[in-house]
Amino acid sequence: MLDGRLRRLTGEVIRFSAVNIVATGVSVVLFNALVHGVKGWFGGPMNEHPSFGYLVANTVGMFVSFYGSRYYAFRHRHAAGPGGGLLVYAIVNFVSFTIPISALWISRNVFGWETIYADNVAANVIGAVLGTLFRFWAFRKFVFTGRQPVPAEVAEHPPAHLGAPAAAAQTPVRSDET
């Protein structure tokens, strides 16, 4: 049993990592274009607002990640919440954005490091690793739960094969109980 669980978990980690690499690639390229520009083409329009640039870039990456997670990494799990889990997924992602944004803010405002290298190490290495660990845990816990919700009538009156006592299942219902 543990071997099967470990194999499923390992598969989820590998698929989640593949999706994360693609989404992170999109986010890093967009973040650097927005904050530092593309040499010879344009300057970074959000250079003075790197945290906002990070938020914009990673919101785009979040949608790439959602579709990859929903239809690849966690395709075998139930997606909790409206929109096939998109609402809960977005909430978890926006909460997790505080991790790399905090690292970026500390790098810029506490240490005074404003180079492209410092921004990328703070937000896209240190912050991204910590944020990824949090998201993997939170997605499995809150978004892709692995179990279908139980309908209210089944939760109130479970059938005998779902744990109701056998005597209760055989007791006839009186007309005044309906």
Residue boundaries of the structural domains of the chain: 2-147
User: Is the pLDDT score of 16 beyond 70?
Assistant: yes
User: Is the pLDDT score of 131 beyond 90?
Assistant: yes
Q: Is residue 35 a contact partner of residue 47, using CB atoms and an 8 Å limit? A: yes
User: Is the pLDDT score of 125 beyond 50?
Assistant: yes
**Mean pLDDT (the chain, rounded):** 83
Distances, alpha carbon 112 to alpha carbons 67, 105, 107, 109, 128, in Å? 37, 9, 6, 5, 20
User: Is the pLDDT score of 46 beyond 80?
Assistant: yes
pLDDT band at 51 (very low <50, low <70, confident <90, very high): confident
Task: Fill in the amino acid letter for 177.
Answer: E
Distances, alpha carbon 2 to alpha carbons 9, 42, 73, in Å? 10, 54, 20
Q: Is residue 58 a contact partner of residue 32, using CB atoms and an 8 Å limit? A: no
